[in-house]
Amino acid sequence: MPPSLARRCTAELFGTFWLVFGGAGAALFAAAYPALGIGFVGVSLAFGLTVLTMAYAIGHISGCHLNPAVSIGLMVGKRFPSKEVLPYIVAQVVGGILGATALYLILLGKEGYVINGFAANGYNVLSPGHYRLGSCFLAETLLTGFFLLIILGSTDQRAAKGFAPLAIGLGLTLIHLIGIPITNTSVNPARSTATALFGGSDYIFQLWLFWLAPILGAVLAALFYNAVLAEHLIPPVKVEPLTFEAK
């Protein structure tokens, strides 16, 4: 018997908690640590590793979406029932906020710490590289779209079995290596919402982009995959029986 919806949503909550706690936590605690900072590469690996580890831990329970854009993309790709999308999204957003809350409580233990962005996502002056709105929107749409292609392709029945978590985790690592200088890399509305709440009102006002662009990218990728890359069964040719008429 498959796990109940409640159990699957619980798995999504804890999985998204881990994604935010591990990925954003690496950015907050370790990215610029004096002399030993892990930098962009380390933060990118941290985000990829959170998804990789959770894919093996809860993938067999919930599918390990951890991302509203992924859930919506899988629904459009006919891999996930529409009636379960909203409960998954609620669980993911709550899990992300709980992860960010845990980070905030830990940061309170450092004397003199001042919140500076909280690893949130932004454009224009809030972009790490000061990229404009249009550039950030395009980057988030493309990066999320390719993330969905990786997910759909690596979990296709024709793909090698057991390697999907590696492809997805490494794919997210690559996405962060590209996107951190542009938007601090979202591709995940739940992650963006969680960190924006602690990053400040400026980040909250820009949060719309980090819902709209990832969802758009995921939907377009799902439509493309099903139309072009998915296996389409060719209906068997109907062969009429031979008849011989007497003349």
Structure tokens given for 21: 């706690």
Residue 247's pLDDT is what? 45
CATH superfamily, domain 5-229, is Glycerol uptake facilitator protein. (1.20.1080.10)
Residue 185, by phi and psi: left (phi above 0), alpha (psi -120 to 50) or beta? left
Structure tokens given for 216: 């758009």
Taking the C-alpha atoms of residue 1 and residue 166, their distance in angstroms, rounded to an integer, is 27
What pTM did the predictor assign? 0.91
Residue 129's pLDDT is what? 96
Alpha carbon 151 to its chain's center: 10
* Identity of residue 41: V
Residue 86's pLDDT is what? 98
The pLDDT tens digits of the residues spanning 69-90 come to: 999 999 999 999 999 999 999 9
Residue 223's pLDDT is what? 97
Q: In which residue ranges of the chain is pLDDT below 50?
A: 242-244, 247
Residue 238's pLDDT is what? 53
Q: Environment class of residue 144 by beta-carbon count within 10 Å: exposed (0-12), middle (13-18) or buried (19+)?
A: buried
Phi, psi of 154 (to 5 degrees): -75, -20
Domain locations in the chain as residue ranges = 5-229
